[in-house]
Structure 1
Amino acid sequence: MESAKAIEKSSLLELLSTPRDDTRGQQGQRRGWWYYAGWSAMILFALLTGFHAFRWVTAPGAVYSSHMPQQIDDELVAKRLAASQRAHPLLLHHQNDGQKQVRLGGKAQAYSTSGSAKDGQYLIGVGKADITGPVVEINMMGYANFEQVGSGVRQRLYSRAFIVGDLHNPEDRFIYLVLDTQAGDTAVRYGILRGLQELGSDYAMYGHDNLAVTATHSHSGPGAWLNYLLPQITSLGFDKQSYQAIVDGCLLSIRRAHESLEPGSLTAGTTKVFGANINRSLYAYLANPAEERAKYNVSAEDDGSVEKDLTLLKFRRASDGKNIGVLTWFPTHGTSMLANNTLITGDNKGVAAYLFEKKVREREDETDDFVAGFSQANMGDASPNTLGEWCDDGSGEREQDEGAASCFEIGKKQYEAALDLYLSMDTMPANVKGSGVKAFHRFHDMSDFQFQLPNGSTARTCSAALGYSFAAGTWDEPGHYEITQHGSNDSNTNPAWRWIRWVIGAPSQEQIQCHSPKPILLNVGKTRFPYHWTPDIVDLQTFRVGQFIIIVSPGEATTMAGRRWKEAVAESSKVQLADEMGGNEPIVVFGGPSNTYTHYITTEQEYGRQRYEGASTLYGPHTLAAYIDRTKALLPLLRDDAPGRDSNSSDTGPLPPDNSDKSIGLNTGVLFDTTPQSHSFGDLIFNVGKNQFRRGEKVKATFVGANPRNNLRLEETYAAVEHRPRGESEWKIVRDDSDWALVYQWKRTSLFKGTSEAIVAWDIEDWTEPGEYRLRYFGDARSIDGEITAFEGKSAAFMVR
């Protein structure tokens, strides 16, 4: 269409006319000499020492390193399950008692098998659990910014589990996890699988082949939990507390989903979301063939440069017709919160899930523990920062809120579109039908894979490497070394990068040719000391329920890369899975980054432009083609007559390393907490200031605090708003630190003395009920001998008018 082409052309001209080395993302900053020194020192120290002298050793069976007092495996899971059972007494819990299975309460999982998959009946279950790791003193994962160290919580992080199974073949099922983290990860996945094995025979049907660990790609969660060295560097290595919080929360969400399994139906629908994403690498996108782009260029508002489609899958149980959850797929980066944000959040998809769950739980048609998963899709080049680049000259109005207002707005757009679609499906019959539930998973070595392209020519992948534009960053967060996208190489960049390249190891001529036209900056695939910097062995995984197919991608695929992958699977499934489709057109969605983080996946044409995404495509220009080739080759495993999981689960391919027990770890523990003279923990330092507030105002109080790493308070809270209804004596919690409007912050006031302060702040919402309120703080102090003691603080009461 002419109008859309004109917009496409003007956008490109504007992009090309922008001096890329003079622009920054919102509130972005250039870095000084110390930033170079930080990267250089970390890498040099890793190479010289292997960090092994600094590892915090964990005893066999322990959850945290010795300096971490809290164990959250058996003890905490039992505590969290007990709390869950009190809230939901019909849940069935199993625990091992030798060879005996002990039922703790509720009804047994006895399912009627009168329905069939062809009638749209499957086994379905959902669950949700807290995975919020250390909220302070740990570098945040996503922006690779040494300065971005956690200082508190705006919103807790969760694992949301969705299980779909075959009614007649209980071994045929899959788990789809949506985590409020930057990516799925190999070490986390290994930890979950070990935990599932320890849960006993009831969970024996779950393994490598049917567990998908996907992420919303939030850049505002604590780091130091990933398996490979490169993403560990800015987080000062690996932190057991951060890692185990994710693993244990995932396990608890799976247990809740598994124990809620019962027959039900699935209904799929699609809608459009406008204003929630924009292509941040239009120059690369326009390298794709014009005729291919034209297929998706439908209007000025939907010009195809990013996908606007949101696909929703509704879960409804058969016993009472109540809806138990939804899964959605929509592509936009988890970078609404900026790199200067230091509060933990699930970013825009965390907001969307929070709003959706809060809204629908008010209805009679939904369960009280309804779960909404807002999964990522092919968002490699899709930014939520839809106003584009902001320049250093400070022109234009912008809120100094680290991206919070924009984050809420982008999340709200996804929530509103999903809710409208969801409500319109109330009277729609279940439309996911067809034969059975199947899953496959294979590990595949991508370092040197030769295969045949559809045109008959031979292609190969390369050992992993990152190009110069990887260090340039994007407009969501520009790089820090004056490297520009699509223009930098070893001859025109800061000497610090050449030094780092030399330390890691220069690429061979063969490696240079394989990755061409990428100018290689970091030859990470050939670096093994002290352990792998990036993965060689990647996860290939796809799920099918009826005609609904989920591609589980280990990397961030760009808009067009994801389209090609989905379309290849859809076309192949029409032939290879024709009997399983039940006469329906396949519905194919794309979820990632999942299982292990392999950075980006671009089309070959986009790769040639060598912007950030192409430079971050680890395995060379044929990376996407290799993924498509392997996925199509494995599609027959989704047939009904494919071998069962017990007979093919051993054929997983070469196993990737699990570095969780040998990773570096330079984050020190909490030594002790003390209070200022004449004060106790939880005492008020600054009260709320007045006794009456209006809606829209902020109320806050400051307390004598203690380090929140002493207790992650999983499934609990650091802060709360309490309300006392008129005429009553009891205070009731009406907000906690999972609520967007309530913020908990912590700051150390003296490292030597071990003193600190906690700030609880509430932006009073417009819909707040008038009445009497107060702020609460919940903390845990560590004595010099290591004993942890819980305490509480409260503000004076105040009125909201």
Structure 2
Amino acid sequence: MKTQRDGSKQNAPDPSECRTSARLTARSALCLIASICSLCLVYLTSSTFLLRNRHPLAGIFDDAKSSLPVSGNDDLYLIGAGKADITGPVVEINLMGYADMKQVGTGLRQRLYSRAFIIGSIHRPEDRFVYLVLDTQSGDTAVRYGILSGLSTLGPEYAVYAQHNVAVTATHSHSGPGAWLNYLLPQITSKGFDKQSYRAIVDGALLSIQRAHERLTPGRLNVGRTKVYDASINRSLYAYLANPEDERQTYNISEADDGSVEKDMTMLKFQRDSDGKTIGVLTWFPTHGTSLFGNNTLITGDNKGVAADMLEKEIRLLDGAADDFVAGFSQASVGDTSPNVLGAWCEDGTGDMCSFENSTCSDGRSQKCHGRGPFFREQDNGAASCYEVGKRQFEAARELYDAMQSDEPIHGNVVKSFHVFHNMSFFDFVLPNGTQVQSCPAALGYSFAAGTSDGPGAFDFTQHNSNETNTSPVWKVVSSLLRDPTEEQDRCQGQKPILLDVGEVHKPYEWTPNIVDIQAFRVGQLFIVVSPGEATTMSGRRWKNAVWNGAKELFGSDFGSSEPIVVLGGPANSYAHYIATEEEYGIQRYEGASTLYGPHTLAAYINRTLTFLPYLSSTSIAGSSNKLPQPFPPDNSNNSLNFISPVVFDSPPIFKSFGDIIRDVHEVYALGSLVNATFVGANPRNNLRLEGSFALVEQRQDDGTWKVVRDDSDWHLVYHWRRTNGLLGHSEVDIVWETRGDGRAGKGTYRFRYFGDSKDVGGDITEFEGISGEFRLV
């Protein structure tokens, strides 16, 4: 049995080397309330370029537009892929995403993973980058600092990985354990910061990078695209329609693909040169990780976790794939998408859809407005719908995988990256039309507290039209207790009525980021924009289009007959909430109210990305962006508050031992039945069993031996834990096998095996296991 990886403390990052909350309800937020000079000359000589939203430093690279070969060995790259377990505490920790203090973990449906993809230049091995896809709600500043610090301890061969070339992206699952984020706001509902939860992510991410690094080999990259239908809709269509009609019509292709969300899935295939086998794929497609509802308390990777698991298991069976094939399902322009594809309906007995304008029901409130997934009638907290939406992404990816034999190769052997930190507080810049504008310190509007149809908020807040005049006056008072925004902040935030002026509060430490990550990668003609926030559908398009135009102008001769390909991944590196267009911002639904830095947030991100785009030139020096003068965000991992109770002790009931059977299986079940057994348990926080399992299904073989056929990474094998007597330390564990949905379940003789770890009153932890009786599936 494999046990938990070492959770020992890592050193804080050296500032010279490296240097969030999702839907926090008003209720939980309000409960807590009771340098640059070196570039000046270049900027002054490039005002025309700035006004055209292009890069003022383009001239610093003499050969920025030099042509590159597009065939032969110049189509070879260093490639590697790795995967590791990041499943944190599955019980007694608030889940991260819906910001509901009542949503506390009670078990595990599917393990969480970090999937690492490394791409490097054959000719210049120092030119490489790491793209991580974590089964978490977002990337995070403290997590990224921890990963960079850990990499610095792994030896000289890992010195190539640093601030400029490591991207920490997330699938945006709302069903993972929380309490690992850097800033105070998302820590409120989780009762602070939990080192065990944090270290599980950091250590697993490091292990996935190590595995990818150790497997680095020459290989080829191909890119392909397909459409994914019925896996997402726009949950804020009223705001999307505020964008210019001619712009919207550009993307309105058909009734099934009307442009309101992006249906495109882009896949990057990694194929090693030695034997032609595929070692991994990385996909980008936007849909929220909210298939499972706010009443779900089982840890999962949501729909993208399902898709990745299904594709890995399927492809590993093929002769043309490596045994350790890795599938990354990265987010894209996710901000206004929803996997609840049947729309938002009122659960109030009326049978009506929610108000189009503000997502309310007959009582004028938002609490009864809920999105419906494909199997919303199932009383399973969204599990069947989650599996179906994940399956739809898997099926599209599977078809694309087979069709990509002759799709577009990535060529040129240019691998570049940049990363800089940028302070959004009162940042002055010029739009392409010459208008001087400003981004602002972070603030959240009244409609932020309304939540969305995926997870409604509380009280009398609604989307689009909430402000201090039509909500209870108590919110104005409570808002003022946090901080009254200055006139400058009010003016900067424009149409947003400020509920929480979080960017100007620094006690006891920062509530949200004002300093954000600006990052992009390039491999050949593929450009990856790494977004710290949730870009809406149209925001993502504008950002990608700006990069496409900038790349075409700066590096056009690099591409030969090809055109630039631009994808966007996020939320990454930190959690900077949402990025709405200026028009959507003016509507002030949830996404606009959660766009932290004012109406020009998107324009600021585009400006900064284009400013540093020449660092993706074929002649730029690896890591040169690290030397730019820049602010650094704080690392709060060692000074965050923590009010989470530890495990005190475990004890079995009298005349029982840990692992004993309380309720055993039946002897015979029909295929499609629920099979379950109950054991004398202990708190799984005693040992996360990373790279291991709490529960197994074993099948008896013809020779009488037992073979593991399911573990707790499998969707249909569910581990439940419950405390039965807190004073005496008693608890029970249920292991449930849902054979109805498990297409791989077959006739045979099986048994359950349970692994646990008990903590005595002295703090010592002891392993144990339990085995159920045998049962037959017929």
Q: Same fold (TM over 0.5)?
A: yes
Give the corresponding residue for 1:678. 655
1:221·1:345 contact (CA, 8 Å) conserved in 2?
A: yes
Identify the residue that residue 254 of structure 2 maps to in structure 1. 299
Distance 1:635 1:405 in 2: 43
* Distance 1:429-1:556 versus aligned 2 partners, 3 A rule: closer
Instruction: Please name the residue that 2:146 is paired with.
Output: 191
Q: CA deviation at 1:668?
A: 1.5
- Give the Cα–Cα distance (whole angstroms) in 2 for the partners of residues 523 and 717 of structure 1: 43
Cα root mean square deviation, aligned: 1.6
Matched residues, number: 695
Question: Match for residue 98 of structure 1?
Answer: none
CA contact (8 A) 2:147 2:202 kept: yes
Matched, 1:352 2:338: no
Matches of 1:398 and 1:132, distance apart in 2: 29
Measure the CA separation in 2 of the matches of 1:282 and 1:773. Answer: 49
CA deviation profile, 1:135-158 (whole Å, cap 9, x unmatched) = 000000000101100000000000
Q: Which residue of 2 aligns with 1:411?
A: 390
Alpha carbons of structure 1 residues 429 and 619: separation in structure 2 relative to 1, 3 Å: closer
Partner of 2:423: 445
Partner of 1:789: 766
Matched letter for residue 515 of structure 2:
I
Q: Structure 1, residues 30-87: CA drift from partner, whole Å, max 9, x if none?
A: x9xxx9875444333xxxxxxxxxxxxxxxxxxxxxxxxxxxxxxxxxxxxxxxxxxx
Q: Corresponding residue for 2:20? A: none
Specify the alignment match of 1:748 in structure 2: 723
Change (3 A) 1:39 1:456: closer
2:267 to 305, 308, 312: 312
Aligned to 1:377: 332
Letter in 1 for 2:198: Y
Query: Which residue does the alignment assign to 1:367?
Result: 322
Structure 1 counterpart of 2:229, from 267, 274, 293: 274
**Residue 302 to residue 183, structure 1, CA distance change in 2 (3 Å):** same
User: What residue number does 1:625 align with?
Assistant: 603
Contact residue 554 and residue 592 of structure 1 kept, 8 A: yes
Partner AA of 1:479 in structure 2 = G
| CA apart distance, 1:308 | 0.3
Q: Give the equivalent residue in structure 2 for 1:75.
A: none
Listed as ranges, the matches of 1:127-526 within 5 Å are 127-394=82-349, 398-425=377-404, 427-428=405-406, 431-526=409-504
Mapped partners of 2:278, 2:615: distance in 1:
31
Task: After TM superposition, list the pairs within 5 Å mapping 1:65-144 onto structure 2.
Answer: 119-144=74-99
How far apart are residue 732 of structure 1 and its match?
1.2
Q: 2:122, 2:413 within 8 Å by CA — same for their partners in 1?
A: no
Would the aligned equivalents of 1:154 and 1:740 in 2 still touch at CA under 8 Å?
Answer: yes
Contact 1:116 1:122 (C-alpha < 8 Å) held by counterparts? no
Q: Give secondary structure in 2 for the equivalent of 1:406.
A: helix
The CA deviation at 1:429 is 6.2
Matched residues in 2 for 1:117 and 1:151: separation?
54
Q: 1:649 is paired with a residue of what secondary structure? A: helix
**Aligned amino acid, residue 177 of structure 2:** P
Could you tell me which residue of structure 2 aligns to residue 590 of structure 1?
Answer: 568
Q: Distance in 2 between matches of 1:201 and 1:435?
A: 24
Aligned match of 1:554: 532
**Does residue 770 of the first structure (1) align with residue 761 of the second (2)?**
no
Contact 1:140–1:223 at 8 Å: present in 2 too?
yes
- 8 Å contact from structure 1 (residues 117, 434) kept in 2: no
Contact preservation (8 Å) 2:70, 2:412: no
Deviates more, 1:179-188 or 1:478-487: 478-487
Deviation, structure 1 residue 329? 0.3
Residues 237-256 of structure 1 show CA distances to partners (whole Å, capped at 9, x for unaligned) of 10000000000000000000
Q: Contact (CA 8 Å) 1:772, 1:798: kept in 2 or not? A: yes
Instruction: State, as a whole percentage, how many aligned pairs show the same letter.
Output: 61
From 654, 674, 697, the counterpart of 2:631: 654
Give the aligned residue type for 1:691.
Answer: E
SS in 2 for 1:577: helix
* TM-score normalised over the length of structure 1: 0.85
Contact 2:649 2:729 in 1 (8 A): yes
From 708, 714, 717, the counterpart of 2:693: 717
Matched, 1:693 2:669: yes
* 1:644 Cα offset (Å): 3.0
Distance in 2 (alpha carbons) for counterparts of 1:200 and 1:643? 22
Gaps of 5+ in 2: 1-23, 35-68, 352-375
Distance 1:767 1:785 in 2: 44
**Alpha carbons 2:74, 2:413 under 8 Å: kept:** no
| 209-218 or 483-492: bigger deviation | 483-492
Q: 1:569-580, aligned counterparts within 5 Å? A: 569-580=547-558
Q: 1:692: how far off? A: 0.8
Matched letter for residue 723 of structure 2: R
Q: Which residue type is aligned with residue 735 of structure 2?
A: V
Q: Kindly indicate whether the alpha-carbon contact (under 8 Å) linking 1:722 and 1:731 is maintained by their aligned counterparts in 2.
A: yes
Distance 1:153 1:287 in 2: 41
Deviation at 1:180, TM superposition (A): 0.2
Q: Aligned in 2, Cα 1:748/1:640: closer, same or farther, shift over 3 Å?
A: same
Distance 2:441 2:634 in 1: 16
Contact residue 118 and residue 582 of structure 1 kept, 8 A: no
Contact 1:117 1:433 in 2 (8 A): no
Match of 1:92 in 2: none
Determine if contact 1:468/1:483 at 8 Å carries over to the other structure. Answer: yes
Rounded Cα–Cα distance in structure 2 between residues aligned with 1:435 and 1:351: 33
The match for 1:733 is 708
TM-score by length of 2: 0.88
Code of the residue aligned with 1:407 in structure 2: it is: C
**Contact conserved, 1:118 with 1:433, CA < 8 A, in 2?**
no
Distance 1:149 1:228 in 2: 20
Inter-partner Cα distance in structure 2 for 1:36 and 1:547:
45
C-alpha spacing 1:394/1:274, structure 2 compared with 1 (3 Å)? same
TM superposition shift of 1:622: 0.2
Q: Distance in 1 between matches of 2:33 and 2:707?
A: 51
Structure with the larger RCO, 1 or 2 (CA within 8 Å, 6+ apart): 2
